[in-house]
Structure 1
Amino acid sequence: MAEVGFPGQHTTTTTVTSSTTVQTNIRFDPVYARTIPGILKVVQVVTSLLGFICIQFSSLSYYSKGSYFSWISMIAFWFTGILLGLYLFHIVEKFYKIPWLKIEFIFCAAWSFLYIIAASLACTVNDKPHSAAAFFGFVATAAYAIDCFLKYRAVKAGGLAQGTRVVSKQTTSAVESPPPREGY
């Protein structure tokens, strides 16, 4: 026997629609450099370049620790600098089907790890330019780690690197009442 007041059938339909809005024209947008990801990229480029310059001013730069730091900082400088240019000119938005956030997440995670090793190794050299490079290396490590965290959250949320994705959710419910009881 059905309980009084409890519907016999309940149907819920949820419709989720998602639309991606991107502008595929190439344009310069300096506003990106004032966003958190833009500021992080600028910090990464500047600290990578300054760390590289510091190592090159050392008389011990040809040792393996200095060479490793130079290698890490130059790859970071060029990769991040190119990405910064792609974002400033909205080229990332033009090619929105490429998984930019995943690529950046993997790079930021790898370079956080590689930079902390390079900066730690630079600390072990008793040389002022290596100490300065180690400082810039630790700052770059922090910038890459923060960027890695932000990219991880964006990837999990299904975000776009540039452009907007509008997700709308519509829920409809239909309730069917049980047939009326006949009197005895």
Structure 2
Amino acid sequence: MDQGFPGQHTTTTTVTTTTTTTQPNIRFDPSYIRTLPGILKVVQITLNLIGFICITCSYVSNTSSRGGWFNTVAMGGFWFTGIVLVLYLFHIVEKFSRIPWLKIEFVFCSIWTVFYLLAASLAADHTKYSEAFGVAAFFGFCAMIAYGYDAWLKFNAARSGALAQGQHTPKQVSTVTSPAY
């Protein structure tokens, strides 16, 4: 018998499986607002609304196509983000977990980042006619950053295979096999 090899040995096989846990019932859960994605959505909604109000209160808002474009971007972001926030608050996203929510939000946030870059830049260039456009441009650039950061988070989450709502639970099963002597 070889001195370097033991007379007995143990083989351990470990299999890891992942279980997706979602609850299909619709329920109100205000704790979502305290998460980073929830906080980002509230910030985005607020910035959209403030920018919209600034442009609307300007005395040149009715004569400026730049103001119209800014308000279109602001209200589009306000309504989409608001609806998605409600879907998360009531766990409707979790109920329909087969829909690629993270990819949808990634595409929307990416597009809105570019839209806000354009809208805020155009509003900033229009400050010679109205100071309200300058204030709106500031909030527009802030919204651009919020949507850009959210797009980056959604991209990373989708790439890693995360769920929009619900959880993956890893489960390990170990099997020990010993030879019979």
- Quickly name the TM-score band, shorter chain normalised: 0.7 to 0.9
Query: What TM-score results when the alignment is normalised by the length of structure 1?
Result: 0.83
2:8 counterpart residue number? none
Query: What TM-score results when the alignment is normalised by the length of structure 2?
Result: 0.85
Letter in 2 for 1:135: F
SS in 2 for 1:18: strand
Letter in 2 for 1:19: T
Q: Distance between the aligned counterparts of 2:58 and 2:115, measured in 1?
A: 21
Q: Does 1:147 align with 2:166?
A: no
Identity %: 54
2:59 counterpart residue number? 59
2:41 counterpart residue number? 41
Q: Distance between the aligned counterparts of 2:114 and 2:173, measured in 1?
A: 43
Letter in 1 for 2:151: C
Q: Distance between the aligned counterparts of 1:94 and 1:164, measured in 2?
A: 13
Q: Does 1:132 align with 2:141?
A: no
Moved more, 58-67 or 127-136: 58-67
SS in 2 for 1:42: helix
Letter in 2 for 1:102: K
Count, aligned residues: 168
Q: Distance between the aligned counterparts of 2:84 and 2:17, measured in 1?
A: 31
Q: Distance between the aligned counterparts of 2:147 and 2:172, measured in 1?
A: 35
Ranges in structure 2 where 5+ consecutive residues have no aligned partner:
6-10
Alpha carbons of structure 1 residues 119 and 173: separation in structure 2 relative to 1, 3 Å: farther
1:113 counterpart residue number? 114
Q: Distance between the aligned counterparts of 1:54 and 1:34, measured in 2?
A: 28
Q: Distance between the aligned counterparts of 2:31 and 2:118, measured in 1?
A: 33
Shift of 1:15: 3.9
Q: Does 1:122 align with 2:123?
A: yes
Q: Does 1:29 align with 2:37?
A: no
Shift of 1:167: 3.1
Q: Look at both structures and tell me which one has the larger radius of gyration over its CA atoms.
A: 1
Alpha carbons of structure 1 residues 113 and 14: separation in structure 2 relative to 1, 3 Å: farther
Q: Distance between the aligned counterparts of 2:25 and 2:133, measured in 1?
A: 44
Alpha carbons of structure 1 residues 121 and 20: separation in structure 2 relative to 1, 3 Å: same
Q: Distance between the aligned counterparts of 2:24 and 2:43, measured in 1?
A: 27
Q: Distance between the aligned counterparts of 2:120 and 2:23, measured in 1?
A: 40
Shift of 1:14: 6.8
